[in-house]
Amino acid sequence: MKVTRFSGNPIVTPGDVPASRPDFEVVCTFNAGATVFRKQTLLMVRVAERPRQEEGWVSFPVLNAETREIEVHRIAKNDPGLDTSDPRVFRYKGEGYLSSISSLRLARSSDGFHFTVDLQPAIRPQEPYEAFGTEDARITRIGRTYYINYSAISSFGVTTGLITTTDFAAYERHGIIFCPDNRDVVFFPEKVNGKYACYHRPAPKHLGTPDIWFANSPDMIHWGEHRHVIGARADAWDSGRVGGGAPPFKTDRGWLSIYHGATPDDWYCLGAMLANLDQPHRIIARTPHPILKPETDYELKGFYGHVVFTCGATLAGDTIRVYYGAADTVMAVAELSLNELLETLK
């Protein structure tokens, strides 16, 4: 199956996005939800910012939920209680923090390849459960409403929040819909058997592994009837963990989903699965090999290398455009044929 990366990749980089305040710097622009609105392709890009670093200090941002202001905290680099071995997170005296804070910012394009990024976030951390950031949005249109789910990060863990809009100008918050640790939620674009439906990815602390589950809901707020869908496969490209990627596409053969998988040493690739139209927890087929894996320089090297990770894709005729974060640093796009992908899922 042929997958064609856009020759102009990456399509959004940290250098394309101004910081939201003068004492901050943008370090990553990645993992964007995608949709089409009024003949434009919209990306809701995760923009990770941090305070400008000073010699000898580690500075990090945390939301003060009472004032709704982002505060900057500093720790001396030589403090024996500080562990900065992972560039994404660090630990200090037993507590975990993120090295940056993420908001969600719109990028707009008339051709799906060349984007202009808004100067300020569309969705920014506001609530206690978002103290470390709002991340990895997925956008699903149902009727005239666009449902935006995202990961809300705080010391309480990783939760899933819900926001709706009809115009991408005004947003209504609906709070937390999945408790920690749960992320990678993708909504189906229509009701299944009279109920809203989603895939989600709980991360068990005691038994089990991070697998994809199915749930349904009468109102998009209260979710139940959870069923296991797929898990990691031994000795495969998704042997470490799996999670939802782009919201599913409805085809005459079933629900087509592009999902991510990782190896135990955190190489992230993309694959696909096909599910029964009436029972989406029942999988018909699953790609034996990745449809997209880290190969280019911008996918192999970055803030966290060897990563391709999607939160959104668009479909026009036979062409799927997969928008994906590369190396946890930039946004990129690749095209593939819907029919060719379905052929691999026989």
Determine contact, residues 240/220, Cβ cutoff 8 Å.
no
pLDDT score of 262 = 96
pLDDT in tens, 241-290: 999 999 999 999 999 999 999 999 999 999 999 999 999 999 999 999 99
Q: What is the pLDDT of residues 165-212, one digit of tens each?
A: 999 999 999 999 999 999 999 999 999 999 999 999 999 999 899 999
65, with CB counted inside 10 A (0-12, 13-18, 19+), is middle
Span 214-246, pLDDT tens digits: 999 999 999 999 999 999 999 999 999 999 999
- List residues bridging with 321 in a β-sheet: 314, 335
Q: Which residues contact 321 (CB under 8 A, 6 or more apart)?
A: 34, 112, 313, 314, 315, 333, 334, 335
Handedness of CA 95, 101, 104, 107 (dihedral sign): negative
Which carries the bigger pLDDT value, residue 84 or residue 295? 295
Question: Model confidence at 302, in pLDDT bands (50, 70, 90)?
Answer: very high
DSSP helix/strand/coil, 159: strand
Instruction: Answer whether residue 346 shows pLDDT above 90.
Output: no
The pLDDT of residue 87 is 80
pLDDT in the model for residue 11: 98
Mean pLDDT of 114-133: 96
Indicate the average pLDDT of the chain: 96
pLDDT tens column, 1-39: 899 999 999 999 999 999 999 999 999 999 999 999 999
The model carries a pTM of: 0.96
C-alpha span between 180 and 129 (Å, rounded): 10
CA distance 63 to 149: 20
pLDDT value of position 10:
98
What is the C-alpha to C-alpha distance for residues 28 and 195, in angstroms, rounded to an integer?
36
With 90 as the cut, is the pLDDT of residue 94 above it? Answer: no
What's the alpha-carbon Rg for the chain, to the nearest Å? 19
Name the residue with tokens 């674009």: 189
DSSP code for 339? H
The pLDDT score that the predictor gives to residue 155 is 93
Evaluate the CA torsion angle 253, 255, 256, 260 in order and state its sign.
negative
Report the percent of the chain where pLDDT is more than 70. 100
Domains plus CATH for the chain? 3-344 (2.115.10.20)
